[in-house]
Amino acid sequence: MSEKEKLSKWQEKEKKLSYERKSCWEGCTDGQKKKIFSLAEKYKTFLGQAKTERKVVEFIENFAKKNKMECFKNKEKAIAIVKTGKRPINEGLRIIVSHIDSPHLDLKRIPLHEEANLCFLKTHYYGGIKKYHWVNVPLSLIGIIIGKDGKKINVEIGEGKDDLCFVISDLLPHLAGKQMKKNAKDVVTGEQLTAIAGNICVNDSKIKEKIKLNVLDLLNKKYGICEKDMISAELQLVPSTIPRDVGFDKALIGGYGHDDKICAFASFEALANVSKPEYTTMMLFLDKEEIGSVGNTSAGSYFFSNVVMELCKKQNITDPMEIRNVFEKSRCISSDVDVGINPVFAEVHDMQNDPIIGGGVCIGKSTGWGGKYDANDSNAEYMANIVDIYDKNNILWQSAGMGKIDEGGGGTVSKYFSRYNMEVLDVGIAILGMHSPFEIASKIDLYYLEKAHQAFIK
Ligand code: MN
Ligand code: MN
């Protein structure tokens, strides 16, 4: 050891005693880098083609079939995939749960509207968005319409390279004097989130709304639907953008819907990469997290417990007391994204406790807001056990906080699983620009999350 590298007594102590958060890229080998980048490509393909919860379910169902996994679907918006473990189910399950819905703009029930020689689509935003993010961004329309005789019609407009798109056009700066003085939340209002959808009119002076009728005619020719059919339809506007590498070194991925599709991806990849898990393992993908886990496709529904009961039945466990035991012995990871430190907005962060981009898997002991209201606070024993698993498997991880105290807050689905008295811990990765049309994640964090999920089920 050279003179320069020799540590002083206190330096040695520091190395031994202090918790140091490091960039995972430090010490990353070329071989690892290759694996990291190839996993990221796989993820980008998934993220680019599965922008809505229905599309994710379709993707995962196909994935499960290809990888010979058991699969339970809930109304095309939530799904569970399962691999039977070496041990009997009465020793409990391993569960990793993520959500597959992302903030977007739903069309209103009667969306088409004509004014000033333009046709518009009225929307109602879904989830926690900064409304001003959604103007001047190319938007795709994705979803389903139930046509005559209950026929399901898939709609997907704007995703192809040469496809048309929709856009909410913001006010020009020249006339924005008053707008610029408003609070950011009112700069663009919910009602103003109205997307341009047409300009050509039908040639008939007897018709009042000529452009709207032309659009309805186009929709009728393409899908065989009329305006009434849109009342029950589920159509969402999402950014048309495809996932892109960000930065000179291409270390980051920019895209729509990392929250929480990046954790969903890490989960199903991990299950495919473990041929025989120790315990029966369920990867659960849920809807409606962004609006508070309400509704029958969310964490608030009995779908999860119904699937567990079905799995128990297959191993001849039907006694309610025994099933209750299965729940209590199970262990759960709630896998959702975390708030990464954005030094541009340093004032909201606790620089010591919030996670860094490229700092590895984020382990969050508690979620919630204020005095930890609405939180799931994991038990120290369980958390330490997961940390131990990660350390033994060389998973680089960091502790995750969520901004300065009382700066804001948020929750995950973890509290819905703690109800079963099973152990639950939040594990995810740090994201920048969360809930925006173009969120940022680090490729190396994704790599370690997939490895962490593998280690948990092995
Ligand atoms: Mn989330
Ligand atoms: Mn979210």
Query: DSSP string spanning 334-390?
Result: E---EE---GGGGGGS-TTTSPPTTS-EEEESB-EETTTBT--B--HHHHHHHHHHH
Cα–ligand 1 centroid distance for 120 (angstroms): 30
The closest ligand to the CA of 334 turns out to be 1
Cα–ligand 1 centroid distance for 177 (angstroms): 36
Digit-coded pLDDT (tens) for 222-239: 999 999 999 999 999 999
pTM of the model: 0.96
Q: Is the model's pLDDT at 410 over the cut of 90? A: no
% of residues, the chain, pLDDT over 70 = 99
What number of other Cβ atoms are within 10 A of residue 388's Cβ? 10
Q: Is the model's pLDDT at 5 over the cut of 90? A: no
Dihedral over Cα of 81, 398, 247, 240: its sign: positive
Q: Is the model's pLDDT at 354 over the cut of 60? A: yes
Cα–ligand 1 centroid distance for 335 (angstroms): 8
pLDDT given for residue 4 in this prediction = 65
Cα–ligand 1 centroid distance for 182 (angstroms): 29
Q: Is the peptide bond before 260 cis (omega within 30 degrees of 0)?
A: yes
Residues lining ion ligand 2 (Cβ < 5 A) are: 259
Digit-coded pLDDT (tens) for 168-191: 999 999 999 999 999 999 999 999
Cα–ligand 1 centroid distance for 68 (angstroms): 28
The closest ligand to the CA of 104 turns out to be 2
- For the chain, the structural domain boundaries read 20-102+256-457, 104-239
Q: What is the CATH number of domain 20-102+256-457?
A: 3.40.630.10
Cα–ligand 2 centroid distance for 458 (angstroms): 28
Name the one residue in this structure whose structure tokens are 């707008």. 179
Mean pLDDT to the nearest integer, 352-372: 93
Residues lining ion ligand 1 (Cβ < 5 A) are: 259-260, 336
Q: How confident is the model at residue 375 (pLDDT cuts 50, 70, 90)?
A: confident
Cα–ligand 1 centroid distance for 212 (angstroms): 37
Mean pLDDT to the nearest integer, 202-221: 97
Cα–ligand 1 centroid distance for 260 (angstroms): 5
Digit-coded pLDDT (tens) for 16-68: 999 988 999 999 999 999 999 999 999 999 999 999 999 999 999 999 999 99
Mean pLDDT to the nearest integer, 242-252: 98
Q: What is the CATH number of domain 104-239?
A: 2.30.250.10
Cα–ligand 1 centroid distance for 132 (angstroms): 20
| Average pLDDT, rounded, for the chain | 96
Digit-coded pLDDT (tens) for 290-338: 999 999 999 999 999 999 999 999 999 999 999 999 999 999 999 999 9
Name the one residue in this structure whose structure tokens are 């320069």. 4
Name the one residue in this structure whose structure tokens are 């029930």. 109
pLDDT given for residue 230 in this prediction = 97
CA distances from 38 to 41, 209, 376, 441, 448 (A): 5, 51, 35, 15, 13
How many Å apart are CA 376 and CA 373, to the nearest integer? 9
246 membership: H or E segment, kind and range: strand 244-246
CA distances from 16 to 148, 332, 388 (A): 70, 31, 17
Q: Produce one character per residue of 213-248: b if its CB has 16 or more CB atoms within 10 Å, e if not.
A: bbbbeebeeebebeeebbeebbbbbbbbbbbebbee
CA distances from 180 to 188, 437, 454 (A): 10, 22, 49
Digit-coded pLDDT (tens) for 264-299: 999 999 999 999 999 999 999 999 999 999 999 999
% of residues, the chain, pLDDT over 90 = 93
Side-chain-side CA neighbours of 135 within 13 Å: the count stands at 15
3-state DSSP assignment of residue 187: helix
Q: Is the model's pLDDT at 367 over the cut of 90? A: no
Cα–ligand 1 centroid distance for 321 (angstroms): 33
pLDDT given for residue 2 in this prediction = 56
